[in-house]
Amino acid sequence: MADTGNLIELCAKDDVAEGEVIKVEHEDLELAVYHVEGQFYVTDNACTHGPGELSDGDLEGHVIECDFHQGKFDIRDGSIVAPPCIVKLKTYKVVPHDTAVVIEAPDE
Ligand code: FES
């Protein structure tokens, strides 16, 4: 997808239905994009606990449950909601845009 300066356009907002999560890859980033109550959130797609992919998990409100060992994270800040996860999930700052989900590029 498009890459303008330090902003990265990941997908169209319409690509992510309300209450859903999708996987989006951009260069070496593999991300999960969530749509909750009209807001979009972006985290790493890889669970910090093991091989689970969070885009395969169950999203309930602002909590994503990994389908591998049922660990849970809050997608707003990456905090751990349920074990066995012990490492926070990386989150990305979503920049306002009319039609696209855009994030600030992470620091190298
Ligand atoms: S791999 Fe996600 S909870 Fe274990």
State which ligand 1 atom lies nearest to the alpha carbon of 71.
3
State which ligand 1 atom lies nearest to the alpha carbon of 70.
3
Predicted TM-score (pTM) of this structure: 0.94
What is the whole-number distance in angstroms between the Cα of residue 51 and the centre of ligand 1?
A: 6
Identify the bridge partners of residue 60 per DSSP, sorted by sequence position: 63
State which ligand 1 atom lies nearest to the alpha carbon of 47.
2
Q: Does residue 1 surpass a pLDDT of 60? A: no
Q: Does residue 108 surpass a pLDDT of 70? A: no
Q: How many angstroms separate the Cα of 78 from the Cα of each of 41, 75, 99, 100?
A: 10, 5, 25, 22
Phi, psi of 54 (to 5 degrees): -70, -25
Please state the rounded mean pLDDT for residues 13-37.
97
**Domain locations along the chain:** 3-104
pLDDT at 107: 77
What is the whole-number distance in angstroms between the Cα of residue 47 and the centre of ligand 1?
A: 6
- The C-alpha angle 11, 60, 13, rounded to 5 degrees, equals 15
Please state the rounded mean pLDDT for residues 1-28.
90
What is the whole-number distance in angstroms between the Cα of residue 99 and the centre of ligand 1?
A: 32
Domain 3-104: which topology?
Rieske Iron-sulfur Protein (2.102.10)
Burial class for 56, CB neighbours closer than 10 Å (0-12, 13-18, 19+): middle
